[in-house]
Chains A and B, each alone.
Chain A
């Protein structure tokens, strides 16, 4: 199974960090292989079509924008 690619889009504020924590917690709870990347460059973030942060992309697909879902909600996005 290929590892899920999690990308947290945001310039590094506490909310972005919280989203990263929740995403990791969700991936661990599901026992899936994953990689996590923090995309902090605004130009890179905008290439996703995201204008509000934090945002979470899974395998290149933006799943949530401007919100911090809890780990339970992120689990659904990873399945």
Chain B
């Protein structure tokens, strides 16, 4: 949880988190974290992106569970990165169901990674997803 340590503030609504230093974009990262290898890869990529400073991983389950404050958090973020493992698009559909439109979407299987049950994702595959995510986030939209 980010605590409050902000500094100056403008008269207009600020679009950063309280601890964002007032200028940094709030980027939230959600992964489907599903049961197959691609779900694992989505989850690991989201965590590694967070540790690399690209954003903050948030709980997709919170949106799925209709936790109102978490839905509002996604709505108010500057950007949400949604990582789905496969064409079921569960994470994307969760955003769509709440009418949240400020998200960018990645599908692991679109990156040449096959969905297989009972197989571990590899570090290389996680890197592929991370690279795509960084490319998407780099445009600042």
Is A78 at the interface (CB under 8 A from chain B)? no
B9, A49: Cβ atoms under 8 Å?
no
Q: Could you say which residues of chain A place their CB within 8 Å of the CB of B56? A: 51
A70, B6: Cβ atoms under 8 Å?
no
**Known contacts A52-B73, A61-B68; A16 and B18 CB within 8 A of each other:** yes
**Known contacts A15-B6, A68-B9; A63 and B1 CB within 8 A of each other:** no
> Please, which residue of chain A has its CB at the minimum distance from the CB of B5?
A13
Is B33 at the interface (CB under 8 A from chain A)? no
B76, A65: Cβ atoms under 8 Å?
yes
Contact with B along A20-51 (1 / 0, CB 8 A): 00000000000000000000001001101111
B18, A66: Cβ atoms under 8 Å?
yes
| Complexed CA–CA distance, A51 and B69 (Å) | 9
> What total of chain A residues lie within 8 Å of the partner, measured CB to CB?
31
| Complexed CA–CA distance, A64 and B1 (Å) | 16
A67, B11: Cβ atoms under 8 Å?
no
Partner of B9, one of A14, A52, A53: A14
Q: Could you say which residues of chain B place their CB within 8 Å of the CB of A15? A: 4, 6, 9, 14, 18
A66, B16: Cβ atoms under 8 Å?
yes
| Complexed CA–CA distance, A64 and B16 (Å) | 12
Q: Could you say which residues of chain B place their CB within 8 Å of the CB of A12? A: 4
Q: Could you say which residues of chain B place their CB within 8 Å of the CB of A11? A: 3-4
| Complexed CA–CA distance, A59 and B14 (Å) | 23
Cross-chain pairs A/B with CB under 8 angstroms, 21 sampled:
A10-B18, A13-B5, A14-B9, A16-B18, A18-B9, A42-B1, A45-B1, A49-B62, A49-B69, A49-B71, A49-B72, A51-B70, A53-B17, A53-B19, A55-B72, A63-B72, A66-B16, A66-B77, A67-B13, A68-B9, A70-B12
Q: Which A residues have a C-beta under 8 Å from some C-beta of B? A: 10-16, 18, 42, 45-46, 48-55, 57, 61-70, 73
Q: Which 7 A-B pairs have the closest CB atoms?
A: A49-B69, A13-B4, A15-B6, A49-B67, A62-B69, A49-B70, A48-B69
